[in-house]
Amino acid sequence: MAGLRGQGRRVVIGKGSVINYGCLLYVTGGLVIGEQVSLAPGVWLITGSHDINDPEHRDVYKPIVIGNYAFLGARATVLAGVTIGEGAVVMAGAVVTRDVPPYAIVGGVPARVVGERQLRNPSYSLAHFHPLFG
């Protein structure tokens, strides 16, 4: 896995993962992207926010973790503190505010489980894509 650090936070992008055009990776809270993960165009990963009940409106940072072989559809948004399980699918335009179980299919605003991926123990490669990173 390739790794970076930003402001002391850990950023890891797994082997073979694809980050398409127009993605926003706001990584101040830390980010782990597993292997063979596909981020479709326009995906936003937001690891920071503000405490709206704090009179100082302080920053709050929490990591996002995306398991191996997950797929995030176009313009999906994942918020701070979320873990997306291995093989999970996030449908286009979904806003993920809670953890997603392995192999679940989630969609909507906020995202909820709408199905389950039948493929188990995937071993495919995304090498045929033209990734920006990977």
Angle at the Cα of 134 from the Cα atoms of 18 and 60, rounded to 5 degrees? 75
Nearest to 38 by CA among 81, 76, 10: 76
Distance CA 76, CA 89 (A): 10
| Residues acting as catalytic residues | 50
Tell me 129's DSSP state: S
Q: Which residues contact 22 (CB under 8 A, 6 or more apart)?
A: 41, 42
How much is the CA Rg of the chain, to the nearest whole Å?
Answer: 14
Distance CA 23, CA 46 (A): 11
Nearest to 93 by CA among 112, 107, 114: 107
